[in-house]
Amino acid sequence: MARMYSHRKGKSGSTKPHLEDLPEWSNSDKEEVEELVLNLHAKGHSSAMIGTILRDQHAVPNPRSVLGRRIAQVIIEKGKPSVYPEDMMNLMRKAVKIIDHLTTNRKDLHNARSLHLIESKIRRLANYYQTKGQLDAAWKYKRDQVRLMVE
């Protein structure tokens, strides 16, 4: 897929191999994996980090095939979901870092443009999540309040 704000094509990415069943060495106990997911979420890890920890430390190569649903869905069903979706929160954290950088480096035009692009991504995601009902319909992105939302 082409990039939205450049004249280049996107990066190619790797895909997971399609496996019907789990390997013999993997941890395939559904209740144990759900408990691990909820414990790691309680410690403050994101769903992507939880998947990495499960793969590297607990021998679960594909949590979705063990659980039957995604890690974020398990967190929403059995745990305490976050106020904002994870991808939107990551973009807001990135925007805060760039805003901090631009307060000390006012002439950095490249990062000023990247801040505009990140903010437009946040607004597009907000529209998407508002139509899906995962975000309040009256929510608006405000640059001066984004630091409060992230912390």
Q: How many CA atoms lie within 13 A of 56 on its CB side?
A: 6
Domain boundaries 86-150, corresponding CATH code: 1.10.287.10
∠ Cα 51 91 11 (to 5°): 70
Do residues 91 and 143 touch, judged by C-beta distance below 8 A?
no
Question: What was the pLDDT predicted at 2?
Answer: 62
Please check whether residue 67 is in contact with residue 74, taking contact to mean a CB–CB distance below 8 angstroms: yes
More confident residue, 8 or 37: 37
Q: What is the pLDDT of residues 100-143, one digit of tens each?
A: 999 999 999 999 999 999 999 999 999 999 999 989 999 999 99
Confidence of residue 150 (pLDDT cuts 50, 70, 90): confident
pLDDT in tens, 62-84: 898 899 999 999 998 887 778 88
Q: With a threshold of 0.85, does the pTM exceed it?
A: no
